[in-house]
Structure 1
Amino acid sequence: MQKNFDRNNRRIFNYPAVVPCQDVNPVTLVSSLIALSNAIIAHQHKFFATQRRNARESIRQVSILNMFFVEVMEKNSIAEFPDSAVLCFSELHHSLQKLLFLLEDVTRNGSRVYILMKSHFVATQFSNLIRSIATTLDILDFKVFDLSREIKELVEMIAKQARKANIQVDPDDEYAMKRVMLILNQFENRFEPDSIMIKRVLYYLRISTWSDCHNEIKFLDDEICSENNNKERDIHLLSTLAGFMRYCRGVLFENNLVEYNENQLVERGNLEILSCLNPEDFRCPISLELMTDPVTVSTGQTYDRVSIQKWLKSGNLICPKTGEKLASTELVPNVNLRKVIQQYCIDHGVPISKFHKQSRDISSTILPGSPAAAEAIKFLSEYLVRRLRNGTVKQKSKAAYEIRLLAKSNIYNRFCLIQAGVIPSLLKLLSSSEATVQENAIAGLLKLSKHPNGKKVIINHDGLKKIVEVLENGLKLEAKQIAAATIFYLSSEHYKNKQSNSETFLNSSKAPIVTMVLELIRTSNSSLQ
């Protein structure tokens, strides 16, 4: 009776409820109503960070309806129900499906701050569904059923209560929502909010650990990235809250990084290595296909020869990726990258045609999404720089790890971190005797090297030598592999700055570096089989 789909992947406030067909079997319909109402009642044991009163009232009414459905099933000849009764039950089924979806949304992992800020909308949804149930019960003729007096009175009572139900935002939710709005307004006006005020809001929502905060960010990011999200207001709100929660995770939960342990870092490191050293990162920005003959243009960007030649022959004299005017149309073969791509494909048995699919586009993250989010990330970036410079070894490692997360797939975050000055401090951490500190630092540099400004800062601070040092003598295999990936992203910048000291160093070390990189790829491949 209920639509079969992955409930975990359903977008929030998207209710794919279905109305039962006209010739539905009444027995099947009532059985489904019992199962549906039981699923709703089960939510009484779940934690509601917000909408507690509305959820409790809705569940109470459905629990009475559940008794009604059970008695209808046990004491009546359902097959003889009139069409009007079947129609009413179908409408109830449709409303209860939506109510179940709404309860799932309100208790969804990571959605607490978003649900709080949508309190008025959610309360309206509860009100509409309860009134819809009341309307259906008004139409339903109870005389056609053999019901006990007690059940009949209870159902009539909830129908009457539902008609008069005063579903509204809980005063405590309203107060917490106004506090969040004040905090976001302070961010927007470039004023760092009082941490005590923020902690009170987080306590109200029971966001009490680094993990809780991280789940909120993950949910918000998933909603922002959703292809179906075309509501500008929601995108603005989601972006604002994501920036706010990132600030909270990095500043307020610094000492509550519950996932921060060696085993999980190794697992994350392996995943990052796979994402850094695979054909997804060897695509041509023009064709989005695996490059078979990579060449570098005067802006330092690398393209597949066939694609960039076609671009130039069309009369285009600007770099497709950066928009900069090309100083010349000379195409410099990127021999190192070509060797690595070829070796990777050989070691992994990768057919080039398999990867002729479009990669995930993060170009939309070049802007912060909202003024409040922009300032929150700036404040966080400055805080992390202070930790890298003056913190304890543990604080420095945690700051590097936070940078690693922030820069993972967000261009604006990378820009803010680079502007705040994190790169020189991360380069210093590469010489740390702590393996975790070194790995977090090189992983952060890898993410930042994907930004044009990041490449320049790393090279200007003689960072290539330090990264090659990690490649040669890193404390962990994961750190060496990430260092190899970082060199790939930096290599294009050297073609643009051929007179730099780093370029001279790279040229003198080219053969050994390529050999080490290829060996690391083979090692990674064998260790993952």
Structure 2
Amino acid sequence: MSLICLHGHGRIDIEERKLCEDGAVVGRVKLLIPLFEEVRDLKLTISEEDLACFNALEAALNNAKILLLLCNTGSKLYLVLEQQEVAKQFLLLAAAFRQALNKPLSLDISDEVREQVDLVRNQFQRSKSLEDPLDAHLNSELLSVLSETHDCSKDKLKGLADMFKFDTARALMKELQALDGMKFYMGLHEGVPSSTWALDGIPINERGFDQLYALLNDLRSLFPSEELEQDGPELKKLQIAQRAGVEKASMQPASPDAGIDKGVLNIPDDFKCPISLDLMRDPVIIATGQTFERLCIQKWLDSGKKTCPKTGLSLPHTHLTPNHVLRSVIAEWCTLYGVEMPKKRAKGSQCSPEDKAAIDELVKKLSSPLSEVQRNAAYDLRLRAKKNVDHRSFIAEQGAIPLLVRLLHSPDQKTQEHSVTALLNLSINESNKGRIMTAGAIEPIVEVLKSGCMDARENAAATLFSLSLVDANKVTIGGSGAIPALVALLYDGTSRGKKDAATALFNLSIFQGNKSRAVQAGVVPPLMKLLEEQPVTMLDEALAILAILATHPDGRSVISAVGPTPIWLKIIQSESPRNKENAASILLALCSYDPEYAKQARETNAAELLTALATSREATNRAKRKATALLDLLKKQGYEDVDRRVEGLNM
């Protein structure tokens, strides 16, 4: 995933895109995503041969990530200068992917995914080095200018600047930064031997670096003096390098201790928090799919706002999911430019002394023999944990979680409600999730879910969802009896309660073992009812859960028994792109394992709607894949039916 995340963060123009062929590589790798998703979601057992294949794939992906990072953030001039060596690396990369995918996988994956893998293998097998006239022309012009050094005419320099789009002093400075970063990354800085290679097969051209620094210094003459003064600190390095010699000049990026100066270092927009506009240190994803710095979005939510700051859309929940892929890419970018990776927020709380004293007193009151004191203390802690991120840490550090878990057994339903809601708010803190699990909270939370008041039941369901965000907890929660209680809430809960139950059931059902539990608990009938409910309130949630359950034999059996083909076709015809995707996924799963269901789909003229979906510009890529696979399946099974009828006549 991090390889794909790199695509689009770069600053290369059309010349470099043709040079480094990154679009083709990323496009092919994207086709492998369904394979990784299916192995992850279905928890498939991997043989030693398949494991060797995945290990080889991992190595190839890592090499691709490094190569693309170099091409996307590196110096335009250096990449053109070494175009043959870079092109050779892409050929070696294609060979690595071919070797990794050479043997067919023995995994029990769907035919659709297997065809995708075969397609990628064939694409890499057809990879070959193509001479690009534009690349050759750029290389020829660059070599011509470098050969003339200081005798190069101003017109020739201007022509070269136009080719490489150095149209402002700022553009020239960015190229200098890229060259600095590439030199630093490839090991050409103080304390690192000049024999160090950044990438196997791409030799370090020390003389080329010297020539390019001199060329950049000459290009200064193309810009007005006021622009040069504005960007003086960086451009002055060119003069220093020219006078003192590049190998002795201090051409490295700013030292880690100097921090990040946004006026000097151009931080990619996707690395900045949309709220603070600073480089993110702990990126997290909210319900709308947008990424923010954890501290910034938490303050936004703590202020009572229930919308996405970037899109303005309402948030169905306020849970934050760490964006590990983006954090990894930011770390690599920081390494490339010699910038210290921003550290996560220091552990421990930053409460005021007054808040600490108040929280300490409230925690003590949780052990009071008076039920009213316990209830009020739980309520106050509930509010503090909701409104303040620092309070969440300090409340847990003071030992409140085991005491709140104990109060879940209280005969007073209000005390139960306040306690389970306090645990819900505390669980927003990632480290508190482990504390809650260690305190043995699951069983009493499930009891509140079964027999508490409606508000307590709803918040118990939300707490289970929050805890299930940790994969290991999905197993524990699924085996605790929580799933039947969540299904019961799906039947008789309020509108909010049903949404809380559905969200928890969706997340728990990602684990393969919980799918059969959900089906046996009777989750399918209420979900099917929600599909036809008017007004539509939970269609998205119901379809998402059914799409997951359809990957399990028990789920397919029950869904096909109660869900006729027209239901899915109606959704494919008129609903949102995501719902169309899930409906197509469900229909494909049912038709793949039930010939009678496939026959019904053919008889209801599904082909027309599926063809429209497969060719729609608005449809998701996954929806198009599912529709295409379903069309192929229906066509294939249709021919088989004809063959069987012909054989019957011949007999």
Normalising by the smaller structure, the TM-score range is: 0.3 to 0.5
Higher relative contact order (CA 8 A, sep 6+): 1
TM-score, normalised by the number of residues in structure 2? 0.33
